[in-house]
Structure 1
């Protein structure tokens, strides 16, 4: 599903992987917390493969994505959309999200909720999920732990829990950042699985580009997702307005 504010920290890291599915997406861009005033931003991004938690939601084809976010004193609402492979009788995923981001000493936190919707579809793909994260920055390195939980609901055959750990480090005096992540999932989305990514991003002004290796421990020869869980290199490029 798309990249929600919870994944804003990983916007480039997961522009290819923060990514939705069965198309449950995006979790990339961290909302401004604290005492900031009203802020409105938008993004447009192209990816060579739309990945969500290591799984392709675009059938390993390119996708176009965009978002609009409104932040006010730590509270945020937003929408993120992506083209996808045919899911729930539509080729569009729309994620609506809201929450709060703040800090307690050196620790930044976020809590929120996401609705993964499929406009124009038959309604069988719509999923609702709660999110929470903690992050800590030391010098150029930021570590983040996050959890996404979808309770048992109409379009799920049981609940789903996803845990993720991320590390990002800027390279001093360069516009480059390296990143790595690992996730563990249990539930009705994909059963039990691990996923991981490793890559780098380039950021200059409003422009961001990334390149990442993405993989899971699922066997594409026996799993129903087939080639959409095979390892891949995912590139992305986008602008923030």
Structure 2
């Protein structure tokens, strides 16, 4: 029995090695340390630091898989911004990327999983499908909420449902390489909820959408990248999340790829 098990293990190892060689899988890891983790213009760490990291697997045929993780700490609402729920965000994603006539395209899905995080009665775990087009230094991306839960939100009073499937995030960006090591980037994002959301922070009215934007500079030395970004939102985000989490912030990040 033991010889049979060993023989099977050898065969499986050989088969996996051959498959990996045939598929030419390339795996790269990354790690970041940042002064604030902002997602779509809103601090996910109660304006605290974050350590982040993950990996990407490229199968050499356009298909890819990846994982990314970050500590999070969602603040309380209203005046109670110092309390929150700390935990871990784990993102799992996969898709297909290629190009046609100089235009790069990317389609895939991304699942956001929040471990040991509580924020209201609805689940934060969210699944989005996305499509992205890029030409030279510019890109346009659309993310569509395919899950009923959408980052823990519920619709405004009167509807009272956590079903926000169909909410969309629009993402536009441009990067300008000043030198081979230094680049400047600009980003604009628009969150469009499927239903009106009550303004928890202001306590008045509802919000159907809000904008976020950023400008940044990055300098790369070998496997390390040092960046400085200014991230801000419009007034609608402040009504929804509060000024503490959405006001303009200068964020410093050091990252590495392995």
Per the normalisation by structure 1, the TM-score is 0.77
Q: CA deviation at 1:204?
A: 1.5
Write out aligned runs for 1:1-241 (5 A): 37-72=24-59, 73-86=61-74, 90-121=86-117, 124-137=123-136, 142-151=137-146, 153-154=148-149, 156-158=162-164, 159-172=166-179, 174-187=180-193, 191-218=208-235, 222-241=239-258
CA distance in 2, matches of 1:81, 1:221: 26
CA distance in 2, matches of 1:45, 1:113: 23
Which is bigger in relative contact order (C-alpha 8 A, separation at least 6)? 1
CA distance in 1, matches of 2:192, 2:111: 19
Structure 1, unmatched stretches of 5+, are: 1-35
CA distance in 1, matches of 2:145, 2:103: 25
Structure of higher CA gyration radius: 2
CA distance in 1, matches of 2:88, 2:147: 24
Pick closer, same or farther for the CA change 1:152–1:38 going to 2, 3 Å.
closer
CA distance in 2, matches of 1:154, 1:184: 19
Root-mean-square deviation (CA), in Å?
A: 2.2
Structure 2, unmatched stretches of 5+, are: 1-22, 76-83, 151-161, 198-206
Aligned pair count reads: 201
Pick closer, same or farther for the CA change 1:166–1:57 going to 2, 3 Å.
same
CA distance in 1, matches of 2:27, 2:255: 17
Pick closer, same or farther for the CA change 1:221–1:177 going to 2, 3 Å.
closer
CA contact (8 A) 1:220 1:228 kept: no
Which portions of structure 1, spanning 4 or more consecutive aligned residues, are displaced by more than 3 angstroms?
A: 86-90, 120-123, 154-157, 188-191, 219-226
Q: CA deviation at 1:91?
A: 1.2
Q: CA deviation at 1:221?
A: 6.0
Pick closer, same or farther for the CA change 1:222–1:89 going to 2, 3 Å.
closer
Q: CA deviation at 1:226?
A: 3.7
Per the normalisation by structure 2, the TM-score is 0.72
